Amino acid sequence: MDKQMHTEGPWKVDGLNVVTEHPADIGIAKMYHGIGQPTRANARLIAAAPDLLAACESAWEAILENTDRRHGCATPAEQVAIELLRAAISRAKGE
């Protein structure tokens, strides 16, 4: 896959902020919609983004490798997964 363009992970939640886990704690995002559960859940989801992107890329490569072994024949479930992964990776990378 392409070279990463985002701030290197891992990221963590620090109060209502999402920061890197590096010593400098570089700010990634600040949550502004209150202190409720949805706000904390949104912060956790944002903090997980680098890991989720890496997991999507790994799954994408594994599925393509598996279908290549079967001469490009993907099962219906693999076809759905390929499209979902392609869309998610493209969206994350701004493509």
What are the pLDDT digits (tens) for 43-53? Answer: 999 999 999 99
Q: Over the stretch 18-38, which tens digit does the pLDDT of each residue have? A: 998 877 778 889 888 766 678
Cα 79 to Cα 2, 18, 30, 88, distances in angstroms: 22, 34, 37, 14
- Report pTM: 0.80
Which residues are paired to 13 by β-bridges?
18
